[in-house]
Amino acid sequence: MLNPGQNNMTFYSKTEQDTYNYAKKLSKNIKSGDILLIEGDLGAGKSVFVRGAAKGLGIKVPMPSPTFTILNEYNGKYKIYHFDFYRINDPLELYEIGFEDYIYSGGVTFIEWPSKAVDLLPKNSIKVNITFENDIRKIEIKWKQ
């Protein structure tokens, strides 16, 4: 399990359920104000990872991917903001929806496709990179520096 004294961690997942369960366990180390930047190709398991972590944070409702809405909000142990930047064409679009108000509100923020707006993201975010190769997901986590 990842902890603040451990900056990097890698986990290998053979199934979506493995990814979900790992993220759920990891959520025990997520606290108010954390921002998780989740990178990976289409189908790599980004939304599955978010669902698992959110479940561990007390979210009990189904969580569809926010691809077409950009943002979904949930109430659990903390307020959860789940962003998906996949359809963002210009990072300035995020100012129109009050992006900074969300990420600095004290909730927990999950952002899929963060590379679409990298200049707007805090440097001390938790970085999650998921790659999928030969039926195995490699989940690399870089805790805040």
pLDDT digits (tens, 9 = 90+) for 103-117: 999 999 999 999 999
The span from the CA of 145 to the CA of 132, in Å, is: 25
Cα angle: 88, vertex 89, 94; to 5 degrees: 50
Q: Tokens 């990072």: give the residue.
A: 91
Question: Which helix (H) or strand (E) covers residue 16, if one does?
Answer: helix 16-26
Whether the CB-CB separation of 4 and 94 falls below 8 Å is answered with no
The pLDDT value recorded for residue 33 is 94
The pLDDT value recorded for residue 15 is 95
Q: Does domain 8-142 have CATH number 3.40.50.300?
A: yes
For 4, which DSSP code? Answer: T
What residues does each domain of the chain span? 8-142
- Asked whether the predicted pLDDT for residue 2 surpasses 50, the reply is no
Predicted TM-score (pTM) above 0.95: no
The span from the CA of 111 to the CA of 80, in Å, is: 11
**Average predicted confidence (pLDDT) for the chain:** 90
The span from the CA of 66 to the CA of 72, in Å, is: 6
6 pLDDT tier (thresholds 50, 70, 90): low
pLDDT digits (tens, 9 = 90+) for 67-114: 778 899 999 899 999 999 998 889 888 988 899 999 999 999 999 999
Four-residue CA torsion sign, 131, 46, 19, 125: positive
Helices (H), 27-135: 46-56, 93-96, 99-103
The pLDDT value recorded for residue 4 is 47
